[in-house]
Structure 1
Amino acid sequence: MYSFYGTWPWYISGFLIGAVMLTLIFFGKSFGMSSNLRTLCTIAGAGKNVDFFKFDWREQKWNLAVVFGAILGGFVAVHFLSDGSGVQLNPKTIEQLAAMNIEAPNGKLGPDSLFGWEAIKTPKTILILFFGGLLIGFGTRYAGGCTSGHAISGLSNFQKPSLIAVIGFFIGGLIMAHFLLPLIF
């Protein structure tokens, strides 16, 4: 019998993602998390100043349920479906982090030296976060969506632009992880 503690196997999580995508396709919807930021900005009144935010946000309110579901699902997974062991990294990854003077996260999602409160106090970390956020925001807008929207929704709908975007995401991630990150740290 399978225990829900630890990582879910690919055949369960993959099946669930596929079932959600088939349901969305059936109802003529597409999935993407970054479009929710536009919806939230529109609800907050950004359409008064910027034409990009002038649209009927009520047509996208179903997608806001996805955001709240992801938040709720994350909370339930961490607090009720986890054995508390956290994230287990490959030993080679830990060696590579150590070579860049970054300690292992020890079960956390990220190491404290990069994501802890003390790290945010350094100008270097603030610059990295600022420029990283700027690049992600620009890239998401330029690519017409985020990684989840293209990789999950776009590919399941056989959209060629999504295939190109996903290939670009992977190439960019490899370049960042193997070439740029060691230069930064």
Structure 2
Amino acid sequence: IHLLVGGTLIGVGMVVAGSCPGTVFVQMGSGLQNSFITCLGAICGVLFYYAFLFKRLTKDEVPKSSIALRQLPELTGIKRIYLNFMFGSIFIGTAFVLEHFVPYKSDLVTPKGLHSLVGWSPVLCGIGIGSLQLFFMMLFKKSLGISTGFTVLVAQLCRMRFFKKLIPSLEPFAYGVQNSLALLFALGAIGGSFISTVSTNQFPLSEQYGAGVWSSFFGGFLLSLGARCAGGCTSGQGISGVTHLLIGSLIATAGMFGGGMLFAAGYGFITKDWLFRAL
């Protein structure tokens, strides 16, 4: 249940804030003003989760026989390599088909060179992000994930005795190499985005690309709260978990996009604001 609910919260948060947990850092690097408010909302979401929900949601250990902990090859009896190839082919094929009918370049001015290219192919960028999974596994022996960066950032408060006693469940995230890597990855996203927008003369990114103040804050709150409930975000569950063909990750990812689509459709029907300008 917590995987589906957490995923749905992330989906709603993505619509409200116009971002996902990882994109928050990218938007901050590009100078999008309200992205810092989204980050503040995400920090509050982490504090709320570990202060009020963590003990309640983790008091009962998930049985090892739970379907959420199993992998698709176990349930289907099909070899992993075949399933990986099938899923990969479907996703990449769909991306190329969509790109063919709705080319991203139709919204861009033809650049003079690579350095002035204000948008890269979504297909190639997606493949690049997915390839980071191999990089993380080979060098750091861990899966790709970025929402933990918010938790590690907030956990630094536990270096002070008051917060350590107030929210002891956050302390494990305050130290350790793995936690430092999560924070460095988030900082790297900020740095990379900054370099990209500055080199294309787009810094700071116009406010027209961001959500309103309250939408940014509330959306950020939902993003991090959902990510903690689901045990990961669009990168941790959506990329890494689905790569490993984990049933729980498939459930969480379905919740993210299904919840986001249903919320967007409901919002559009009620307000007739299909471009979400009021958010």
Q: Mark the runs of 5 or more structure 1 residues left unpaired by the alignment.
A: 88-105, 121-125
Greater RCO between the two (CA within 8 Å, min separation 6)? 2
Which residue identity does 1:73 align to in structure 2? G
Which residue matches 2:228?
141
Asked whether the equivalents of residues 151 and 166 of structure 1 are also in contact (C-alpha less than 8 Å), the reply is: yes
Which residue matches 1:9?
121
SS of 2:209's equivalent in the other structure is coil
Measured against aligned partners, the alpha-carbon deviations of 1:32-70 in whole angstroms (never above 9, x if no partner) come to 222112211222224332121121522310111111110
Asked whether the equivalents of residues 48 and 54 of structure 1 are also in contact (C-alpha less than 8 Å), the reply is: no
Distance, in Å, in 1 between the alignment partners of 2:165 and 2:143 is 27
Distance, in Å, in 2 between the alignment partners of 1:20 and 1:158 is 17
Alignment of 1:11-30 (within 5 A): 11-26=123-138, 27-30=140-143
Greater Cα shift, 53-62 or 8-17: 8-17
Distance, in Å, in 1 between the alignment partners of 2:224 and 2:265 is 22
Two-structure CA RMSD over aligned residues (Å): 3.0
Q: Mark the runs of 5 or more structure 2 residues left unpaired by the alignment.
A: 1-111, 272-277
Distance, in Å, in 2 between the alignment partners of 1:36 and 1:174 is 26
Distance, in Å, in 2 between the alignment partners of 1:137 and 1:152 is 17
Identity score, percent: 30
Q: CA deviation at 1:79?
A: 1.2
Q: CA deviation at 1:132?
A: 3.7
Which residue matches 2:27?
none
Which residue identity does 2:175 align to in structure 1? W
Distance, in Å, in 2 between the alignment partners of 1:78 and 1:183 is 36
The structure-2 alpha-carbon separation of the partners of 1:68 and 1:161, relative to structure 1 and needing over 3 Å to count, comes to same
Distance, in Å, in 1 between the alignment partners of 2:183 and 2:133 is 16
Q: CA deviation at 1:173?
A: 0.9
Which residue matches 1:68?
187
Alignment of 1:67-86 (within 5 A): 67-80=186-199, 82=200, 84=202
The structure-2 alpha-carbon separation of the partners of 1:54 and 1:146, relative to structure 1 and needing over 3 Å to count, comes to same
User: Is 1:171 the equivalent of 2:271?
Assistant: no
TM-score (normalizing by structure 1): 0.68
Distance, in Å, in 1 between the alignment partners of 2:129 and 2:113 is 19
Which residue identity does 2:182 align to in structure 1? N
The structure-2 alpha-carbon separation of the partners of 1:17 and 1:136, relative to structure 1 and needing over 3 Å to count, comes to closer
